[in-house]
Amino acid sequence: MRKMTMAVGLGLLFGSLGMVLPVAWAAEEEIRIGAVWGLTGPQAGVSQEGRRGMEMAQDLLNKKGVLGRKIRVIFEDDKADPAVAVSAAEKLITQDKVVAFVGGVGSTICNAMLGAFEKYTPKPLGTLTGCGATTIEQRFGKERGYFFVHPWEYYYQTTMRDFLLSVTPRPQTVFIAHEDRLYGTSHSKMAEEYFKEAGFKVVARESFKSGAPDLTPLLTRAKAMNPDVFYWIAYGADAVLVTKQGKELNFNPRMYASTVQLGTQEYRDAVGKGNAETFVGITVWEPIAAFPASKEWPEVFPSTRDWVRDYTTRFKREPHYYSIMSYVALVATAKGIEAAGSLERDRVLGAMEKINTMTPMGPLKFSPSKFAVNHAFKQMMIFQWQKGEKVLVFPRDVASGMLMHPFPAWTQR
């Protein structure tokens, strides 16, 4: 009887050790990835999209593991505040000892974070989704360890310019409004320059405070100038206000155009399908794009259609381009680590530079841009809201529908 008790006791002891040990081991051995997003505040919409993409990638990668370990993404909220972002990033480096940074949104944030990275040797690795400002490309592009997957702003504005040139009847005058921080200011300067070169008349380039509760003064001012195109570069909350208040003021340019923030489901839901109708935005990617599965890694890079189906099944909502960009960024980083066979920085970045594959977002290959060493995804598209859905209208070879132009007056809708 006593022997039996002892056997049971020992069994329990070893059993419990056996259960505890591997878990503790795994926690120690997990590959930590830092992710700083503006999960609350003015950037919350896009940030949550990005977060979902990373979570999906993390779970998929962890089915097989990377180098026999689990990937763990540590999310931090920067509240769209550069100072908060810097301290979050420093916490991730010093306390969590992350292998790389993946994701992020906002050039102001990116600029501050990469600035803070300068004091570390070697600098942290990053697959960066939130850096689109050319100033960032000029300042940090030469760093081999930064893999930029967000198009530089000139790609936006050249795309928008080419699109406007393709529109018939061709618009003559453009009113550019922009939020008054780094993102809006640098994009709008570039837009003005490219538009003027192409022969458009930029009637004004005006700044405003992002997140302000009232844009009627700006819109009233724009309405008085009667431009063909009202083009604004700002964030999601501002897009909702421009739409609602533009309608309230019965401001009828021939075209309302904006950039990426116009493409969120959040925007459409906040203003309503009818009010978003014919609004035009720039996009890096849309779920209606039709890229095939990757030959090399079909299990993580299926065709666009399959990926979108998996994402929609899981999150019960359409993916945003930030969802897939951050998904691809995390998978690319993991594949780099896998190919390098270690977590050693230089080997990982070497392996990432060799990646050349198809992804549901399009072909992925890091190559030099104007100033940067490693940049991927250089093609951009124009979408238009039609009956509550986004339709790709430019460039023509990827277009999924016809542009509706000009914008029907609010009173005739």
> Where does this chain bind another protein (CB under 8 A)?
39-41, 44-45, 47-48, 79, 180, 204, 206-209, 211-218, 220-221, 224, 236-237, 240-241, 243-245, 247-250, 266-267, 269-272, 275
Shortest distance, CB of residue 199 to another protein, whole angstroms? Answer: 23
Shortest distance, CB of residue 412 to another protein, whole angstroms? Answer: 13
Shortest distance, CB of residue 136 to another protein, whole angstroms? Answer: 22
| Chain CA centroid to CA 115, Å | 20
> Rounded to the nearest 5 degrees, what angle is found at the Cα of 386, between the Cα atoms of 216 and 409?
45
Shortest distance, CB of residue 413 to another protein, whole angstroms? Answer: 11
Shorter beta-carbon distance to another protein: residue 201 or 221: 221
Shortest distance, CB of residue 50 to another protein, whole angstroms? Answer: 12
Shorter beta-carbon distance to another protein: residue 44 or 92: 44
Shorter beta-carbon distance to another protein: residue 158 or 275: 275
- Angle subtended by helix axes 44-64 and 304-315, to nearest 10: 110
205 DSSP β-pair partners: 176
Calpha distance 155→289 (Å, rounded)? 18
Tokens of 90: 């420093």
Shortest distance, CB of residue 152 to another protein, whole angstroms? Answer: 25
Shorter beta-carbon distance to another protein: residue 214 or 296: 214
Q: What are phi and psi of 40, to 5 degrees?
A: -125, 165
Contact predicate 338/369, CB 8 Å:
no
179 SS3 class: strand
Shorter beta-carbon distance to another protein: residue 82 or 236: 236
Tokens 């779970």 map to which residue? 59
* Distances, alpha carbon 12 to alpha carbons 2, 5, 15, in Å: 15, 10, 5
Shorter beta-carbon distance to another protein: residue 35 or 71: 35
Shortest distance, CB of residue 277 to another protein, whole angstroms? Answer: 12
Shortest distance, CB of residue 173 to another protein, whole angstroms? Answer: 16
Shortest distance, CB of residue 182 to another protein, whole angstroms? Answer: 14
Shorter beta-carbon distance to another protein: residue 276 or 288: 276
Amino acid present at 39: L
Shorter beta-carbon distance to another protein: residue 315 or 371: 315
Shorter beta-carbon distance to another protein: residue 312 or 356: 312
